A and B are shown apart, each in its own frame.
Chain A
Amino acid sequence: MTTSLMHPARPVLLVIEDGTEYVEFARLFVGDTFEIHAARSAREALALLADPGADALLVDLRFDRAPREDLVGDVDATAARLFGGDRARALRHVQDQQGALVLGALREAGFPQRAVFVHDFPPRRLANLRGLYGDVHAVASFDATAIRSALAGARRPA
């Protein structure tokens, strides 16, 4: 039996973003440790987590370049609930928080892999994300050493 039939030679890091900055970064700075896969939406991430799977997630938070139809989150409901019906503000909110909404969709689908955000979350917000989504880490900047550390030991569920 070869390794490739069961798992890739290296653990897989699934990068989820609406641009290319994260995946470029990941290939440069953690590509020696992880095989890098990329998804641009929750739909693509779900497909890649189903096959071939991933050991960890590197997730962008803000998706302001994604097509509206690719976004997770109900803009009308958000407008009504949080912004007094202001749909423009609600769309911005959905874009600004898209990474967390995508992670919610992945958790709902049963994927508990470690998620790392590159974002300076206030401690309470990070605690809230961990309460909602389990194994969540945040690194304040594109600090490769800190991101490596946050990803260390992450493995897909058995």
Chain B
Amino acid sequence: MSGTPASVREAAALLAHDVGKYIGRIARNVEGEVPPALAPLLLRDVYETQDGQPALARLDALRPALGPLAHDARVVAARDALQRAAALESAARAGDPAALGALVAIARAVESQLRALARALHDAGAP
């Protein structure tokens, strides 16, 4: 993993990449009940994203580099959603269809929020 982001924009881009992009990898392509073959991959995207750490831990590691934007509504909403995902981990790992379905919705929402934040900072010409 790269070092500390040098700017707020870089931190937001990393969040969109390391958390948003990978958490949506399977979730983006599931309609209805999660097929058993995809469930382990969905679980990995949420709980072991990239270097094996949960998406929530990666978000928390990058969040301070966002400075005042650490409290942006999109970041807060993404974190709240990832905390809900953490609470669902046992049920999701046990294959509970409702928990897996909730994970899909959470992953899609987190991806959208973090991508929107990165895009907004880019479009605003943030440093």
Contact B3–A143 (Cβ < 8 Å): no
Residues of B within 8 A of A28 (CB): 38, 41
Secondary structure dominating the interface of B: helix
Given A89-B6, A142-B29, A122 and B111 touching (CB < 8 A)? no
Which of B2, B28, B51, B123 is in CB contact (< 8 Å) with A142? Answer: B28
Given A21-B22, A24-B41, A120-B115, A92 and B29 touching (CB < 8 A)? no
B13 closest partner in A (C-beta): A96
A25 closest partner in B (C-beta): B25
Which residues 85-115 in B have Cβ within 8 Å of A in the complex?
111, 115
Does B21 count as interface, using CB distance less than 8 angstroms?
yes
Which residues 18-54 in B have Cβ within 8 Å of A in the complex?
21-22, 24-26, 28-29, 38, 41, 50-51
Given A140-B115, A141-B28, A118 and B21 touching (CB < 8 A)? yes
Output the residue of B10, B26, B118, B122 with the most chain A CB within 10 A: B26
Residues of A within 8 A of B115 (CB): 120, 140-141
Bound CA span A89–B3, Å: 9
Bound CA span A65–B115, Å: 22
Contact A142–B21 (Cβ < 8 Å): yes
Nearest chain A CB to B25 CB, angstrom units: 4
Number of interface residues of B (CB under 8 A): 25
Bound CA span A28–B111, Å: 20
Does A64 count as interface, using CB distance less than 8 angstroms?
yes
Contact A62–B24 (Cβ < 8 Å): no
Bound CA span A69–B22, Å: 25
Does A19 count as interface, using CB distance less than 8 angstroms?
yes
Contact A19–B21 (Cβ < 8 Å): no
Which residues 104-142 in A have Cβ within 8 Å of B in the complex?
118-120, 122, 140-142
Bound CA span A80–B1, Å: 23
Residues of B within 8 A of A145 (CB): 29
**Assuming A21-B50, A65-B1, A144-B29, what are 13 further A-B pairs, CB within 8 angstroms?**
A21-B25, A65-B50, A65-B51, A88-B3, A92-B3, A92-B6, A92-B10, A95-B2, A120-B118, A141-B24, A141-B28, A141-B115, A143-B28
Task: Offer 26 A-B interface pairs, CB within 8 angstroms, sorted by A.
Answer: A19-B50, A24-B41, A29-B29, A64-B1, A65-B50, A65-B51, A88-B3, A89-B6, A91-B2, A92-B2, A92-B6, A95-B2, A96-B13, A118-B21, A119-B21, A120-B16, A120-B115, A120-B118, A122-B119, A122-B122, A141-B21, A141-B28, A142-B21, A142-B25, A144-B29, A145-B29
